[in-house]
Copies of this chain bind each other. A is one copy, B any other.
Amino acid sequence: MSSSLTGKWTTNWDEVYSSRMGKMTSSIIRDLLKVTLQPEVISFAGGLPAPELFPVREFREACAYVLEHDGQRALQYGPTEGFPPLKEYLAEKVRKYGVPAEPENILLTCGSQQALDLIGKVFIDPGDTILTEAPTYLGALQAWNAYAPRYVTVPLDQDGMRVDLLEDILKKEKPKFIYVLPNFHNPAGTTLARERRHKLVELAAKYGAFIVEDDPYGELRFEGEDIEPIISLHKENVIYLSTFSKTLAPGIRLGWMIAPERVIKKLVLAKQGADLHTSTFVQYVANDICQRGILKSHVKKIRKVYKERRDCMLEAMEEYFPEGLTWTRPQGGLFLFVWMPEYIDSEKLMHKALEEKVAFVPGYAFYPDGSGRNTFRLNFSCMGPDRIREGIRRLGNALKKEMSGKG
């Protein structure tokens, strides 16, 4: 053997990737973000919370306090399950929403995205059937594609998942679990009606599927009354996910999941192998902010600003969008969703829109089967009213161009 091999021979990397990598693609949103970094483009494509609302001062105070009083512990390894006082805080918090959770039911995660990945790891064997809404959260598809499930979908309308269609699908498809975003759905902006939640829980039980309830936006309700979470209706059959990303800040990557204790134990095993535990320091800081009661007043502030922005976007859409479109009027959250006539393709529209210096996410990205080509998602949380108005005006122009002479 000659040492000249070194430096010449290298792995043919394309031949050694696992077969699951064939199913993994980059998020169209992350790719779009690169285009929309140009400052002259008004982008409704991202899902960024408004950074000017981040509680920066409170973070500074919390970091100083934690490092002064508990620095060594906050910087050391910690339990996989999460920092106990933060688990206690979260358990108490969700009990107020009617979820009878104890700290043993809670696992801290690196954002909700990690919770989705852990669910994939713990539950999905290749070929398992998963039922999602159509459209559904793109990040869930990205997490789960690695585990090679088969997706079946149920459509949604202004009241969320079409639960009236669910029984036939459950009977025929026998999914392992049902994935649902009940509040201010991403991307659809819809909220699952109360009576549909009850029906969903009953049908899931009847047909032997558990429910994954993904609720990152539930606290960001601008109007109307809170509806009890699905997990409060049947906590033994629901895994519930939420996050600090939309209420405190996404850059800390801190979320949590609630499940029966024996399920948490399995999720903990998977998390141990995935990253040992979530940052101790970040958990100490978030706990300090929470314990000082800042979260509640802060969320009020966010709600007020996001409501103004939603109102501004809806008004501008009325003014600038052509006839023949429908859209959701979300009662909270960060997104709304637009349905165009069937003959309009949102990807073609996107190119027209980029010419007008405005961006959105084509809706097909949110459909597991790639349908929904006549839809798109708009984000209203991360810019002020003037920019929203101007962006919608530009998008109206693109829509008019794309729709003229067709149909």
Residues in A lying within 8 Å of B, measured CB to CB: 1, 3, 5-11, 13, 16-21, 24-27, 30, 48-49, 51-52, 54, 56, 59-60, 63-64, 67-68, 71-78, 80, 109-111, 113-114, 117, 121-125, 128, 139, 142-147, 176-177, 198, 201-203, 205-206, 208-210, 233-234, 236-237, 249-253, 260, 262-263, 266, 269-270, 272-282
Q: What CA separation (Å) do A16 and B237 show in the bound complex?
A: 12
Q: In the complex, are the beta carbons of B117 and A273 less than 8 A apart?
A: yes
With a CB–CB cut-off of 8 A, which chain B residues contact A80?
30
Q: In the complex, are the beta carbons of B251 and A76 less than 8 A apart?
A: yes
Q: In the complex, are the beta carbons of B16 and A251 less than 8 A apart?
A: no
Q: In the complex, are the beta carbons of B125 and A210 less than 8 A apart?
A: no
In order of increasing CB-CB distance, the 8 nearest A-B pairs are: A56-B71, A251-B280, A75-B249, A10-B236, A63-B63, A51-B72, A75-B251, A9-B205
Q: In the complex, are the beta carbons of B27 and A272 less than 8 A apart?
A: yes
Given contacts A24-B269, A202-B6, A269-B24, contact A253 B233 (CB under 8 A): no
**Among candidates B128, B269, B281, residue contacting A252 with C-beta atoms closer than 8 Å:** B281
Q: How far in angstroms is the closest Cβ of chain B from A233?
A: 6
Q: What CA separation (Å) do A272 and B144 show in the bound complex?
A: 11
Decide if the interface of chain A is mainly helix, strand, loop or mixed. helix
With a CB–CB cut-off of 8 A, which chain B residues contact A250?
75-77, 280
Closest Cβ neighbor of A128 among chain B residues? B18
Q: How far in angstroms is the closest Cβ of chain B from A329?
A: 26
Q: In the complex, are the beta carbons of B13 and A125 less than 8 A apart?
A: no
Q: In the complex, are the beta carbons of A279 and B253 less than 8 A apart?
A: yes
Q: In the complex, are the beta carbons of B75 and A52 less than 8 A apart?
A: no
Q: In the complex, are the beta carbons of B253 and A276 less than 8 A apart?
A: yes
Q: In the complex, are the beta carbons of B237 and A11 less than 8 A apart?
A: yes
Q: How far in angstroms is the closest Cβ of chain B from A54?
A: 5
Q: What CA separation (Å) do A162 and B17 show in the bound complex?
A: 28
Q: In the complex, are the beta carbons of A123 and B16 less than 8 A apart?
A: yes
**Among candidates B8, B18, B48, B122, residue contacting A17 with C-beta atoms closer than 8 Å:** B122
Can you list 6 residue pairs at the A/B interface with Cβ under 8 Å? A6-B234, A10-B205, A27-B272, A60-B71, A76-B251, A251-B280
Q: In the complex, are the beta carbons of A54 and B25 less than 8 A apart?
A: no
Q: What CA separation (Å) do A51 and B201 show in the bound complex?
A: 48
Max chain B CB contacts within 10 Å: which of A18, A67, A113, A121?
Answer: A18
With a CB–CB cut-off of 8 A, which chain B residues contact A275?
109-111, 113-114, 117, 253, 275
**Among candidates B6, B67, B251, residue contacting A205 with C-beta atoms closer than 8 Å:** B6
Given contacts A71-B59, A237-B10, A250-B76, contact A279 B276 (CB under 8 A): no
Closest Cβ neighbor of A47 among chain B residues? B77
With a CB–CB cut-off of 8 A, which chain B residues contact A49?
76
Q: In the complex, are the beta carbons of B276 and A113 less than 8 A apart?
A: yes
**Among candidates B11, B51, B113, B198, residue contacting A208 with C-beta atoms closer than 8 Å:** B11
Q: In the complex, are the beta carbons of A274 and B76 less than 8 A apart?
A: no
**Among candidates B1, B26, B280, residue contacting A272 with C-beta atoms closer than 8 Å:** B26
Q: How far in angstroms is the closest Cβ of chain B from A49?
A: 8
**Among candidates B125, B237, B270, B276, residue contacting A146 with C-beta atoms closer than 8 Å:** B270
With a CB–CB cut-off of 8 A, which chain B residues contact A233?
6
Q: How far in angstroms is the closest Cβ of chain B from A110?
A: 4
Q: What CA separation (Å) do A176 and B17 show in the bound complex?
A: 10
Q: In the complex, are the beta carbons of B237 and A9 less than 8 A apart?
A: yes
With a CB–CB cut-off of 8 A, which chain B residues contact A123?
16-18
With a CB–CB cut-off of 8 A, which chain B residues contact A27?
272
With a CB–CB cut-off of 8 A, which chain B residues contact A56?
67, 71-72, 75
